[in-house]
A and B are shown apart, each in its own frame.
Chain A
Amino acid sequence: MTLDLALQAAVSGLLMGGIYALVALALALVFGVMRVLNFAHGDLLLVAMYGTVVLNQALGLHPYASTLLLVPLMGVLGWGLFAALIRPLLGSSALMQAQLTIGVSFMIQSAALMIFGADLMNVRTSFESSTLPLGRGIVVGVPLLVAFAVSVLACAAVAWFLARTETGVRIRATAQDPVMARLCGVAVPRLQKMVFAASIALLALAAGSLMTFFHVTPTTGVQFSILSLLIVVLGGLGDLKGAFVGGLMIGLAESLAGAAFDSALAPAVIYILFALTLLFRPRGLFGRGSIA
């Protein structure tokens, strides 16, 4: 692998990692506040991705324009899902959570297959082939760069919200100790519903970003479920900063491994990295994750 190739892989990987970070952050938020690992997280992203395609085909909306419609719609979906499926799961065993959310995952995949078929779908945009040269022959796809910027801004907005607003403080208090938060007057059930709805709404933003350069099939969601679960555990369960950094790390590792190894070893690298990190940092990258 030449230096130029390594730099190209590193830049592409880091940008991709920013989007992974946003997807994983949404999952980490849910786990942090309500201790639920949602195995259907990637499939809910899938719903938003198909929504982007539908809005593009029906109304000619650009993926970013469709997020204006999809964010509130996904929020409503999240609200309904919480009331119907997630609230009964609160406090239950990890096995119960896994079973139910994996079931939801299968339902979404099957519904996607029935409604949209197995064909690959994407959205064509005016800037899909635009690139930005960075010197030394390194190019960055503009859609990927914009998606990275949007994702990082979204993560920063979430961080700001949690740190600087009263609701954010309440959310952090609930994540830290839900019993004490309740005793201090925080309406924990309502807050949990709001956080779940908001995390699903965030997926609409990630979907809009992804659809500017990626595609969707009924099985795309599973890939992102596995990836985001991996990142959340790597970063430390419930640790948002860990999820962000973990996303960037995984994006980088995935890209560098793909460029360095011409073999089936390449995809194994991120799992090896994951295993090694947990071996030496069982509570995640920053040692702040909970032991689930």
Chain B
Amino acid sequence: MTRSAPRSNSRALLTAALLLTAALLLAARAAGAADPATISIPVVTPMSGATSVIGQDSVKALEIAMRHIAEDGGVLGRKLELKMVDTQGKPDVMRRELERLARLENAPLVLGCEVSAATAAGAQFAEQFKVPFLNSAAVAADILQRGYGWYFSDQITGDDEARAVTSFVEYLASQNAGKPLKLGFLFEDSPRGAGTIEASRKLLKDKGIAPVVEVSYNRAERNLLPQVKKVEQAGADVVVWAGYTEDVVAGLKAMQQISFTPYVVGIGGGPGDPRIPTLVDPAFIEKLRLSTIDYFNPDLPRARRFVEAYQKQFGTLPSSYASLCYRGAYTVYAALKAALATKGGSLDRESLRGALRALKIPGEATITPFASIEFDAQGRNVGARSLVAQWQDGGTRKVTVWPKDVAARAPLPAQR
């Protein structure tokens, strides 16, 4: 073999590698080439990380939403594609992804099914780069108070939850056989939990109801027995509890250990998690009359189509997390149709912002208890409202019990 043979072998290998890479790139580009008839809207959601349960349920719901939208005729005959983008529940990842979507992919609008911290970062970016950002998940009210012109939220806020808490607690007080209600607050200390409790405290104070005890804890606490005991020692017979599934499960078990059975009014993803009866003794859940302030319940007649499709495909009832992204998809759908239906209809960002501003979706056309979906000057959905769902039927079924106009049944009595 001559000295030049190894060098020519290397050159041949390199050439082959370059040709193969070029071929692969061309094939990928051809496969990914956008169909001009398809409208592609990115959806930012945490598909990994501590809040990935939101993304997991959102992905399932969006699969159904896309199918239903196609069945409903698409966006004036055009297919709507909702592309999932993992933002991991982190503000910095949200900014990075939004920058990519806005600058490189020219996204006309972004749908957000993300936690409040990441959504706040997204809203700030959207405002800076003038991209309509529709939030369907975060309940933080302070984002709406920043005067953003490109941020919209069709979701309830902490204030809506506080109003629901107040009206339900007032109802329970009226059922307490003339005895004053001893109210306790128990909450995880993130801005989500603490913020909603603060809003509730203010409204309840105006009604003359003050808590006898307030106990906060870190969401990662593995043992909530001391905190629960504190609430028990204060004699609370109604506990308003803001928490996520992990801490609520730990707290419920602690309550069971000390046989502490107040009337529990929950806020947040924890108390209403459809998996709760498999994680905690359902009979005990009913003893607590565990109720949850929520923006969705599978027994809402309006939600039947979505619930049946979800149950058929995934073998389980949809969680509230699933519902929010489905709702958001339909809000986007309505905005897209409105933008295209105008004279010289266009899907540029300014047109879509205008379409969102002018949107008015009646509550009956949604899967929520909302009166409507319509946005004020701050981007707040003025038709949003919460419901109260309660675990009944041996703690196995979540039933809508409040407000009366959407209730399927009456709440369990405050007095045993």
Contact = CB atoms under 8 A, between A and B. Distances in A.
Contacts of A290: none
B56 A122 contact: no
Contacts of B50: 217, 219
B229 interface: yes
B189 A263 contact: yes
B253 A5 contact: no
Interface in B202-230: 214-218, 220-227, 229-230
A258 B233 contact: no
A131 B275 contact: no
Interface in A90-132: 109-110, 113, 117-120, 122, 124, 128-129, 131
B226 A8 contact: yes
Contact of B226 (A144, A259, A263): A259
A134 interface: no
B395 to A, nearest CB: 14
A264 B216 CA distance: 8
Contacts of A259: 226-227, 230
A131 B257 contact: yes
A264 B220 CA distance: 12
A182 interface: no
Contact of B222 (A4, A8, A16, A109): A16
A119 to B, nearest CB: 6
B218 A264 contact: yes
Contacts of A217: 50, 53, 246
Nearest to B319: A119
Nearest to B55: A118
A214 B214 CA distance: 25
Contacts of B253: 128-129, 141, 213
B216 A263 contact: yes
Contact of A215 (B230, B249, B256): B249
A266 B226 CA distance: 13
B223 A255 contact: yes
Given A4-B233, A139-B258, A12 B279 contact: no
Interface string A242-265: 000000000000110011001110
A144 B245 CA distance: 20
A4 to B, nearest CB: 7
Nearest to A120: B245
A5 B56 contact: no
B218 A258 contact: yes
| Chain A CB within 10 Å, residue with most, of B216, B217, B218, B245 | B218
A165 interface: no
Interface string A184-207: 000000000000000000000000
Contacts of B218: 258, 264, 266-267
Contact of B189 (A8, A109, A255, A264): A264
A219 B49 CA distance: 7
Contacts of A131: 257-258
A215 B279 contact: yes
A9 interface: yes
B51 to A, nearest CB: 8
Contacts of B230: 1, 5, 259
Interface residues of B, number: 37
B40 interface: no
A139 B233 contact: no
Contacts, number: 96
A289 interface: no
Contacts of A223: 220
A238 to B, nearest CB: 26
Nearest to B51: A118
B217 A258 contact: yes
Contact of A129 (B220, B226, B256): B256
Contact of B279 (A5, A122, A144, A264): A122
Nearest to A123: B279
Nearest to B258: A139
Contact of B221 (A129, A144, A258, A262): A258
A223 B221 CA distance: 10
Contacts of A110: 48
A90 to B, nearest CB: 32
| Chain A CB within 10 Å, residue with most, of B49, B55, B246, B275 | B246
Contacts of B284: 129
Interface in A61-105: none
Nearest to A114: B48
A141 B225 contact: yes
Given A128-B253, A129-B284, A214-B222, A117 B227 contact: no
B215 A262 contact: yes
A236 interface: no
Given A223-B220, A258-B227, A263-B189, A117 B56 contact: yes
Nearest to A2: B233
A79 to B, nearest CB: 29
A120 B275 contact: yes
B216 A262 contact: yes
A282 interface: no
A287 B199 CA distance: 50
Given A16-B222, A259-B226, 17 more contacts: A8-B229, A12-B223, A12-B225, A13-B223, A117-B53, A120-B279, A122-B279, A124-B278, A128-B253, A129-B256, A129-B281, A141-B225, A219-B49, A255-B223, A258-B217, A262-B215, A267-B220
In the A-B complex, the 9 residue pairs with the smallest Cβ-Cβ separation, listed nearest first, are A259-B226, A118-B52, A9-B226, A118-B53, A118-B56, A267-B218, A129-B256, A262-B216, A131-B257
19 contacts: A1-B230, A2-B233, A8-B229, A9-B226, A16-B222, A113-B48, A117-B53, A118-B55, A118-B56, A120-B249, A122-B279, A131-B257, A144-B223, A215-B249, A219-B50, A223-B220, A263-B216, A266-B189, A267-B218
Interface of B: 48-50, 52-53, 55-56, 189, 214-218, 220-227, 229-230, 233, 245-246, 249-250, 253, 256-258, 275, 278-279, 281, 284
